[in-house]
Amino acid sequence: MNTMDWLKTAASQHKPMPILSFPGIQITGATMRELVASGKKQAECMKAIADRYDILASVSLMDLSVEAEAFGSPVRFSDNEVPTVTGAVVKDESDLEKLIMPEIGTARTGAYVDTIREAKKLITDMPVFAGSIGPFSLAGRLMDMTEIMVLCFEEPELVHATLEKVTQFLIKYNTALRDAGADGIVMAEPAAGLLSPNLIAEFSSPYVKRIIEAVQSSECVFIYHNCGNVIPLVNSIIETGAKAMHFGNSIDLSEILPLIPPDRLVFGNVDPSSQFRNGTPESVREATLNVLNKCAGYPNFILSSGCDIPPVSPFENIDAFFNTSMEFYAKADER
Amino acid sequence: MQGLLNEMSSALQAGKAKMVKELVEKALADGVSAKDILERGLLSGMDVVAVKFKNNEIYVPEVLVAARAMNTGAALLKPHLAESGAKPVGKAIIGTVKGDLHDIGKNLVRMMFEGKGIEVIDLGVDVPMEKFIEAYYTEKPDIVALSALLTTTMGEMKNVVEAFSNEATRSDVVIMVGGAPITDSFRESIGADIYTPDAATAAEAAKQAIMRLRGKSA
């Protein structure tokens, strides 16, 4: 499909597009350990969500350990939690030189490409978005997140050299996701949300831009995700060339919407943790209405969660989110 | 002397560890007391960093490099402080709870605590409840600070608080909780004492709690 054209009318459909895939395991019965290792199970999970909800598009898992694992990072798996990278593999230049550029298929990268292929077969009535980590967030996992931020000052050349390597890999990986049929890619760059405007402009956005320029096409567009305090960083994020931006709940979305060009979509930002996971249907309704009341007047706004919704979030909370959106827009259409 | 200490504070704020080290050495050679260097040079610099961070004027990486610069200077002062009998403001043990491997928030809080002159014993990440209790008896801290980033691990905070509640000395320690999914109502529900939404506020709250615990005014 031509996703660029779809983007032009996506907001006017008034359907939410939360980062919602992990909770599908409550329907399919897969454990987290099984899910993150199997493209087929992931596609089934996405299909279960697509069947249950009137959602704008299907989004694959936000699993930010996949790409680092392909580079050799140790990863901890569990039956009910999203996998986590547990240690650094690049501590100095010699580690970086030894770092082997992974082929697509290394570790679980092949499974995640399969996910898109399978999901495209199962889900035919809406776009299917793949997920990928962003370059600074991947480099941070390879170097240790605290260390990379210090090294941005103390050894910037090492950070840039690592970013160069991960960018080359991410171009290959995102190309494979696109070629598997992804209508778009949600690129998660949350670690860049910790940076200052100067640092993000040096260590994240130019690399994101290179990946987008290499991979984005009319059939596969990028949604840039960052759940940090992005308001001071917004100009640099716009520079990446992403056609849409997805922001977390650490900002008031209505403060950033006026800063974004109207031809770029903005998604956000009901709190996944305190609302979807730990809230009640009433509190989710209130939080959803709060975002809608502030943001629905912008023609490029699409309601979403602030980040990926945790696996064991109660469906009654997710139902409340969708129902509130439906009621809100039904009332708005009546007026 | 104040000029030198101001210069040290500025270098620390800029994260210039090498310059901080040189200035601390110079101050010691000039006969400035280790206590003055710590309080009027290094900690006053970290105070500025904490305020700027809280006001979103600087960002996490700037805090990290400033804290490293402070630690470089503080390491030089350690033997002098021990010699003079100077004591830290108080003591805290800190760790990310069992099952959770995230450490940026915990590291920031540790650095902000140190910036307030609090001695910190960092237990690391994925810390089981038993290790917090064991560290409590060996270190005798004023503060036990628990961090969690995941919705699935924040429940472990409750287990740690309950374990402390079973100890006869629960009232002698202040339990602080923090991390992205934590809220004050969650803090209340598990019986912890203090929640703050950011690292700078956590350090200020910790210092005041220590003063209260030790019967001093902040």
For residues B198 and B98, membership in a common domain is answered with yes
Composition of chain A by helix, strand, coil, percent to 5: 55, 15, 35
Q: Residue B95: which of B130, B142, B120, B127 has the closest Cα?
A: B127
- Give a yes or no: residue B61 inside a domain: yes
Domain boundary among B52, B69, B84: B84
Mean pLDDT, rounded, for A145-163: 95
Per-residue confidence band for B218, with pLDDT thresholds at 50, 70 and 90: very low
**Do the Cβ atoms of B198 and B54 come closer than 8 Å?**
yes
CATH 3.20.20.210 given to domain A3-334 = yes
Could you tell me the CA-to-CA distances from A89 to A94, A151, B40, B125 in Å, in that order?
11, 15, 39, 18
> What does the pLDDT read at residue A151?
95
Specify the 3-state DSSP secondary structure of A222: strand
Domain boundary among B49, B84, B119: B84
For residues B190 and B109, membership in a common domain is answered with yes
Mean pLDDT, rounded, for A98-117: 97
Question: Shortest CB distance from A278 goes to which of B61, B65, B151?
Answer: B151
Instruction: Say yes or no: B51 contacts chain A, CB-CB below 8 A.
Output: no
Is residue B80's pLDDT more than 80? yes
Residue A37 tokens, joined: 């290792």
Question: Shortest CB distance from A150 goes to which of B68, B152, B186?
Answer: B68
Range in A101-115, A168-182, A282-296, B103-117 with the lowest mean pLDDT: B103-117
Is residue B217's pLDDT more than 50? no
| Contact across the interface for A278 and B181, Cβ inside 8 Å | yes
Residues in chain A: 335
Domain boundary among B84, B100, B123: B84
Query: Mean pLDDT of all residues in chain B?
Result: 91
Residue A272: DSSP 8-state? I
For residues B122 and B142, membership in a common domain is answered with yes
Looking at residue B187, which CATH number applies to its domain? 3.40.50.280
Mean pLDDT, rounded, for B154-178: 90
For residues B79 and B141, membership in a common domain is answered with no
b (16+ CB within 10 A) / e for A62-75: bbbbbbbbbbebeb
Give the full edge-to-edge strand order of the sheet including A128-133.
Answer: A58-59, A128-133, A184-188, A221-226, A244-247, A265-270, A301-305
What is the distance between the alpha carbons of residues A184 and A120, in angstroms, rounded to a whole number? 12
Helices A145-154 & A156-179 angle (0-180, nearest 10): 130
For residues B29 and B126, membership in a common domain is answered with no
Residue that is written with structure tokens 């790409």 in the block: A67
- Give a yes or no: residue B11 inside a domain: yes
| Contact across the interface for A195 and B103, Cβ inside 8 Å | no
For residues B173 and B118, membership in a common domain is answered with yes
Is residue B48's pLDDT more than 90? yes
B168 Rama sector, left if φ>0, alpha if ψ -120 to 50, beta otherwise: alpha
Please enumerate in sequence order all residues whose Cβ is within 8 A of that of B102, keeping only pairs 6 or more positions apart, or say none.
A84, B96, B125, B147, B148, B149, B150, B179
> What does the pLDDT read at residue B166?
86
Q: Which domain holds residue B14?
A: 2-84
Minimal-distance CA residue of chain A relative to B101: A86
SS3 of B61-84: HHHHHHHHHHHHHHHHHHHHHHHH
Residue B117 tokens, joined: 């002159």
User: Strand runs (DSSP E) across chain A, as ranges?
Assistant: 58-59, 75-76, 84-85, 128-133, 184-188, 221-226, 244-247, 265-270, 301-305
Per-residue confidence band for B78, with pLDDT thresholds at 50, 70 and 90: confident
Residue B91 tokens, joined: 């003591």
- Give a yes or no: residue B142 inside a domain: yes
What φ, ψ does residue B210 adopt, rounded to 5°?
A: -65, -45
Per-residue confidence band for A290, with pLDDT thresholds at 50, 70 and 90: very high
Mean pLDDT, rounded, for A250-270: 96
Angle at A64 between CA A199 and CA A123, to 5 degrees: 125
- Give a yes or no: residue B218 inside a domain: no
Give the full edge-to-edge strand order of the sheet including B174-178.
Answer: B118-122, B90-96, B143-147, B174-178, B194-195
pLDDT tens digit sequence for A138-147: 999 999 999 9
Q: Which residues of A touch B60 (CB under 8 A)?
A: 149, 194-195
Which DSSP string corresponds to B37-48?
A: IIIIIIIHHHHH
Instruction: Say yes or no: B22 contacts chain A, CB-CB below 8 A.
Output: no
Per-residue confidence band for B216, with pLDDT thresholds at 50, 70 and 90: low
For residues B207 and B161, membership in a common domain is answered with yes
| Contact across the interface for A84 and B101, Cβ inside 8 Å | yes
Domain count for chain B:
2
pTM equals: 0.90
Rounded to the nearest angstrom, the minimum Cα separation between A306 and chain B is 12
Is residue A262's pLDDT more than 60? yes
Q: Which residues of A touch B107 (CB under 8 A)?
A: 146
ipTM for this prediction: 0.85
> What does the pLDDT read at residue A81?
82
Interface test with A, best of B19, B64, B102, B188 (most A CBs within 10 A): B64
Bridge partners, residue B177, by sequence: B146, B195
pLDDT tens digit sequence for A37-62: 999 999 999 999 999 999 999 999 99
- Give a yes or no: residue B129 inside a domain: yes
Q: Which residues of B touch A194 (CB under 8 A)?
A: 59-61, 104
pLDDT above 70 as % of chain A: 100
Which amino acid is residue A256, in one-letter code? I
For residues B16 and B117, membership in a common domain is answered with no
Residue A289 tokens, joined: 């209405």
